[in-house]
Amino acid sequence: MVEHAEIRMVHRGGSKINFREPVITNDSRFLLCAAGESVNVYSTSTEEYVHDLQGHTDLVTGVVLNPSNHLQVYSCSADGTVRLWDFTDAILIKTFIIGYPIYSIYVSEKHGGVVFLVVPMADYKSSELFQLVAVHLPHSGDQEVEARELSAVLCDVSPHAGAASFGREGEYIASVKGLQLEVFFFKKQKSYRFSLKSGMKKGAKNAFTCVSCHPKEDCIATGHEDGKIRMWRNFNQKKEYTYSTLHWHHGAVNTLCFTPEGTNLLSGGIESVLVHWHYTQENQKDFLPRLGAAITHIAVSPDGSLFSTSHSDNKITIIQSCVKVSAVIQGLVKGDGVWTNLIIDPRSKALVLNGKPGHLQFYSLHRDKQLYNLEIVQQEYIHEEGLDQFEVVNAAFDARGNWLATVEERRKKGAELEITLKLWAYDELTQSFVLNTTVTAPHEDQITAMFFSPSPETTMLVTTSLDGHFKAWLLADHSDANEGFWACDFVGGYHLLKPGCCSFSADGSLLSVGFQEVVTVWSPASWELLTTLSQPPGAIRDLCFGRLSCSKYLLGASTKNQLCCWNLLTCSLEWSTPMDVSLLQADPLSENMAAFCSQSGSSDLFVFKPSEPRPLYSQKALCTGKVQHAVFAPRDQMLESCEERTQWLNRSQLYFFTQHMDLLTFSTKTEEDRLLASSKQLMVDDSVAVTPFYLLLGKHRGQQLEKQEALTNPMAERTQLPQGSIAIKELLHTPAHVLPSASFLCAMFVRSLLISSSSAREEKEHEEGEREKEEEDSEGEADPRLGESAAWGPPEEFGAPALTKAQERELRKVKTFDHSWLSSLLDC
């Protein structure tokens, strides 16, 4: 097989933003967090993504503000570099090459030019033992600097982010690991160790989980696995140290953080409650409950006005003055696993999969943003470890997106399975799904597959279960009630075999159910068993009907390394190949099929048409481990690639989940070019907080600026440019009671954004910036200008001293700008 350079595998869908503690900038305007191989910058006020700092080649493991320059951040990564960034402009200033994978980074104001890194012990190649090292960052003008002068501070530290903390004015550093707290004093160059008994006998778990030092006083707070917080004092000697204990958490304390003034201590754990301890009165505490998921990190802005909590469901919450949640930054929720298939919502074209516990998340692939969470289980979630919770294990949409079926189950240890089938109707009014029918215990055992019939006449759902039956559910029409409910219509089985998969043909006229080794084909209209197909040995794992021109083919993947293709017209085997197909997926918009094969620890992908013997595309060693789920997502714009190898990506895009819960997709060169072009357009000035409105206006202004630079005569332009912004300012600053009604203004504004067809035609040869200018004109002036341009036409054609393009443009601008569009608005 030939490697296809033009098809590239790319990561999609929010990398983990809760991996490390986020950083809030000094002016509290931005929040920086490590996200996969880059550092994302978000606006704290609007929760909008601003830009990212790209450059690392491996997981970013820590972000800290440069203590000597509050506009710069250090980031460290597992690729063995520390990079210094200007985060406002997303510029990489310097790269320090350390040479070892770095697990976390600490800095202190007192130690200027030194960063403290957690790296593996040099002599232990296996990543079992870690040490804290101080690195002097050399002053040098070069972009890339080697900084290999490491001086060990502490040996045997924990690689976790919250396991070390600088004390008052950077005089000492405290680190915890296991049952030991170690404090290193820089002045004395001496460390003290304090150990706790394991306490296992008394039912206590004393192991340390995190540490935080008071910024003003000599006090260290440590969190423990059994939910206790210990406040250590007097620790500058070995003997007479003291500690007091605070206890509220019932699970482990995940994170601790002192506020900058040291008046409060914040703690969080699995309970998803932010606990707010008063430092002087230790018995007093405030709570901020119901934050949604277990708290993994807490960060406080340098002025103490904003808190941010990272949560286990890949979410960052920004909390204002410790009482009000002001913003939520939500990434793609990656829970413990994805049990549902990846599905595409036919309405919103969003990817639907398990989200928060008991929820389905709708994730927009094109915007890389979570749209919303649909609550399925509708039960109070108890934040406690070791509980068997209800989980959504299956979901399916009908062809038009009017119905959603979900299966939730809860398996108790040693007790019977609780299954609930729920059917949700799409409500146009609220634009969301509303529960229509709940079926408790639809089957006696696990439901293995669930599909809606694609035929437009009937809404039918088929579920197959390990109890040996498959059931068809129909919407029982009730003429008097406005909404019907779902009821079981047919129960089918085949020789008490357990059905493992099912598939509808593209028109819904055939249903195939795989009963272990036998594939049965049924007619859903009469529930007649039409035929059986089998190709032993090996149970059928996946079934798929061909689409469009290949609809006469039925494909089945069996456990014993076989991919079979049956011709349904002759009921005979068309072809079969020895392949260990773990996942078979059909593209709904073309005949193409994707088969993922797992071979010796890695996965291969084959894209083929059932009618053709040769695969369209194949990729060996796609990723390590088995591909769990995959889906073809239709594109909103078709690509016009003629290349044979990339043609299969024209209509839809293949997304898949690897074993490590990474969402990957394939991207082609043409697509990347297009993306690059669109991202350039969206360059944003960061002097204003990013809002959708700003994106609209900011685009204008950015392009005006660009154009200004491009112009040959900048002087004339400079006098005019402010006018445009003044016009907007005037609109925004005019008292509201003077302005005409908003609906009037809105229509005007929207119309002004449209390019009138005639002017668009006229300006095809012009630059894009030109067009932007005209959009700002009120449409009232469009007509005279058109007349003018027509009047200008002849001299040019007659070969009279032609105006240069720039001059012509300027002339026009003078014309359009002396009556500002707003003044015309205000007149009427």
Partner 1 sequence: MASFKSTKIPIYPKLGEKVTPDTLYWKNYKAPVQIKEFGAVTSIDFSSLAPHNYAVTASTRIHIYGPFSTEPVKTFTRFKDTAYSGKFRSDGQLLVAGCEDSMVRLFDVSGKVALRVFKGHTKGVHVTDFTSDCYHILTGSDDYTCRLWDIPNSTELTSYKEHTDYIRCGITSKLNRDIFITGSYDHTLRMFDARVEKSVMTMDHSQPVESVLLYPSEGLLVSAGGRYVKVWDLLKGGQPLVSLKNHHKTVTCLSLSSNGQRLLSASLDRHVKIYNTTNYKVVHNFDYAASILSLALAPDDESIVVGMTNGVLSIKHRKSPEEKREMAGKQRMQPVYRIFVKGRNYVPKKDDFLVSKPVKSHLAKYDKQLKKFNISKALDTALEPEITVAVMKELDRRGTLKNALAGRDEQNLSQLLNFLIGNVVDPRFTPVLVTATEMILDIYQAVVGQSSVVDRQLVRLQELVEREVDYQQDLLEVLGMLDTLFAASLPRKEVPCPGSKTVL
Q: Nearest 5°: phi and psi at 156?
A: 55, 65
Does residue 439 touch partner 1 according to CB under 8 A? no
Q: Does 273 bind partner 1 (CB under 8 A)?
A: no
Tell which one of 237, 280, 281, 440 touches partner 1 (CB under 8 A): 440
The continuous run of DSSP H or E covering 72 comes out as strand 72-77
Q: How far is the CB of 466 from partner 1 (least distance, A)?
A: 19
Asked whether position 415 contacts partner 1 by CB under 8 A, the answer is yes
Binding to partner 1, residues 303-362 (CB under 8 A): 325
The reply on whether position 518 binds partner 1 by CB under 8 A is yes
What gap in Å lies between CA 117 and CA 797, rounded to an integer?
Answer: 71
Q: Is 676 in the site for partner 1 (CB under 8 A)?
A: no
From edge to edge, which strands make up the β-sheet containing 264-269?
Answer: 253-258, 264-269, 274-278, 285-288
292 binds partner 1 per the rule CB under 8 A: yes
> Residue 43 corresponds to which tokens in the numbers above?
């606006």
Query: CA–CA separation, 343 vs 269, rounded Å?
Result: 33
Distance (Å, whole) CA 284 – CA 64: 31
**Which H or E run includes 405?**
strand 403-411
Please identify, using beta-carbon distances, which residue of 390 and 617 lies nearer to partner 1: 390
> Minimum distance from CB of 725 to partner 1 (Å)?
39
Q: Is 289 in the site for partner 1 (CB under 8 A)?
A: yes
* Least distance (Å) between residue 809 CB and partner 1: 54
Nearer to partner 1, 535 or 602 (CB): 535
What percent of the residues of the chain are helix, what percent strand, and what percent coil, each to the nearest 5? 15, 40, 45
- Minimum CB distance to partner 1, residue 642 (Å): 40
Is 523 a residue that touches partner 1 (CB under 8 A)?
no
Could you say which of 128, 142, 238, 387 contacts partner 1 (CB under 8 A)? 387
Nearer to partner 1, 188 or 290 (CB): 290
CB of 362 to partner 1, least distance (A): 17
> Count of residues binding partner 1 (CB under 8 A)?
30
Interface segment toward partner 1; rule CB under 8 A; list 286-294, 542-550, 581-589, 783-791: 286-294
The DSSP bridge partners found for residue 657 are 629, 663
Binding segment for partner 1 among 160-168, 361-369, 372-380, 647-655 (CB under 8 A)?
372-380
* Nearest Cα to Cα of residue 556 among 577, 541, 572: 541
Which residues on adjacent β-strands are paired with residue 460?
474
* Least spacing, CB of residue 532 vs partner 1, in Å: 5
Among 117-125, 162-170, 288-296, 687-695, the segment contacting partner 1 (CB under 8 A) = 288-296
Interface with partner 1 by CB under 8 A: which range of 386-394, 639-647, 732-740, 758-766? Answer: 386-394
The SS3 of residue 673 is helix
CA distance 393 to 375: 13
* Integer Cα distance of 49 and 65 in angstroms: 19
Among 198, 531, 723, 758, binds partner 1 (CB under 8 A): 531
Positions in 562-621 near partner 1 (CB under 8 A)? 570-573
Q: What is the DSSP string of 702-713?
A: HHHHHHHHH-S-
Tell me which residues in 416-435 interact with partner 1 (CB under 8 A): 416
**Which two tokens mark 614?**
């040769």
- Of 217, 388, 612, 788, the residue at the interface with partner 1 (CB under 8 A) is 388
Rg (CA), the chain: 32
Minimal distance, residue 571 CB to partner 1, in Å: 6
Amino acid residing at 629? H
Q: How far is residue 710's CA from residue 725's CA, in Å, rounded to a whole number?
A: 19
Determine if 535 is a binding residue for partner 1 (CB under 8 A): yes
| Closest-CA residue to 630 (of 9, 5, 2, 7) | 9
Nearer to partner 1, 3 or 380 (CB): 380
- The verdict on 390 binding partner 1 (CB under 8 A) reads yes
Q: How far is the CB of 412 from partner 1 (least distance, A)?
A: 8
What dihedral do alpha carbons 327, 333, 334, 335 form, nearest 10°?
90
Nearest CB to partner 1, comparing residues 1 and 573: 573
What count of other Cβ atoms lies within 10 Å of the Cβ of residue 103? 25
User: Do the Cβ atoms of 214 and 235 come closer than 8 Å?
Assistant: no
Stretch that binds partner 1, among 382-390, 425-433, 460-468, 766-774 (CB under 8 A): 382-390
Return the biggest CA–CA distance within the chain. 102
**Nearest distance, CB of residue 464 and partner 1, angstroms:** 19
* Length of the chain, in residues: 828
When asked if residue 70 is in the footprint of partner 1 (CB under 8 A), the reply is no
Omega prior to 537 cis, within 30 of 0: yes
| DSSP label at residue 600 | T
Q: With binding defined as CB under 8 A, does residue 802 bind partner 1?
A: no
Compute the CA torsion angle 5, 349, 623, 618 (nearest 10 deg): -50
Q: Which two tokens stand for residue 378?
A: 């509708």
Q: Which region among 377-385, 649-657, 699-707, 816-824 touches partner 1 (by CB under 8 A)?
A: 377-385
Residues 25-44 interacting with partner 1 (rule: CB under 8 A)? none
C-beta of 451: minimal distance to partner 1 in Å? 24
Please select the residue that binds partner 1; options are 54, 127, 378, 725, rule is CB under 8 A. 378
CA angle 384, 386, 391 (to 5 degrees): 85
Which of the ranges 299-307, 408-416, 456-464, 626-634 carries the binding residues for partner 1, by CB under 8 A? 408-416
- Closest to partner 1 by CB, 187 vs 412, is 412
Q: How far apart are CA 777 and CA 812, in angstroms?
A: 11
Nearer to partner 1, 169 or 384 (CB): 384
Residue 94 near residue 76, CB atoms below 8 Å: no
**What is the closest distance, in whole angstroms, from the C-beta atom of residue 302 to partner 1 in the complex?**
26
Only segment of 37-45, 170-178, 203-211, 527-535 that touches partner 1 (CB under 8 A):
527-535
Using CB under 8 A, pick the residue from 298, 533, 554, 664 that binds partner 1: 533
The answer to whether residues 83 and 58 touch, using CB atoms and an 8 Å cutoff, is: no
26's tokens = 């000094």
Q: How far is the C-alpha of 789 from the C-alpha of 802, rounded, in Å?
A: 14
| Listed residue (778, 765, 779) closest to 809, CA to CA | 765
Q: Which residues of 242-275 are buried (b: 16+ CB within 10 A; e: fewer)?
A: ebeebebbebbbbbbbbbeebebbbbbbbbbbbb
The rounded distance, in Å, linking the Cα atoms of 486 and 334 is: 32
Among 361, 534, 628, 667, binds partner 1 (CB under 8 A): 534
User: Is there binding between residue 796 and partner 1 (CB under 8 A)?
Assistant: no
Under the binding rule (CB under 8 A), the answer on residue 386 touching partner 1 is yes
Binding partner 1 (rule: CB under 8 A), the pick from 213, 291, 461, 690 is 291
Report in angstroms how near the CB of residue 19 gets to partner 1 at its nearest. 24
242 lies in the site for partner 1, by CB under 8 A = no
Least distance from C-beta 264 to partner 1, angstroms?
A: 20
Residue 626, token pair as written in the block: 């088995």
Per CB under 8 A, residues contacting partner 1 are 289-292, 325, 378-380, 382, 384, 386-390, 410, 412, 415-416, 440, 518, 531-535, 570-573
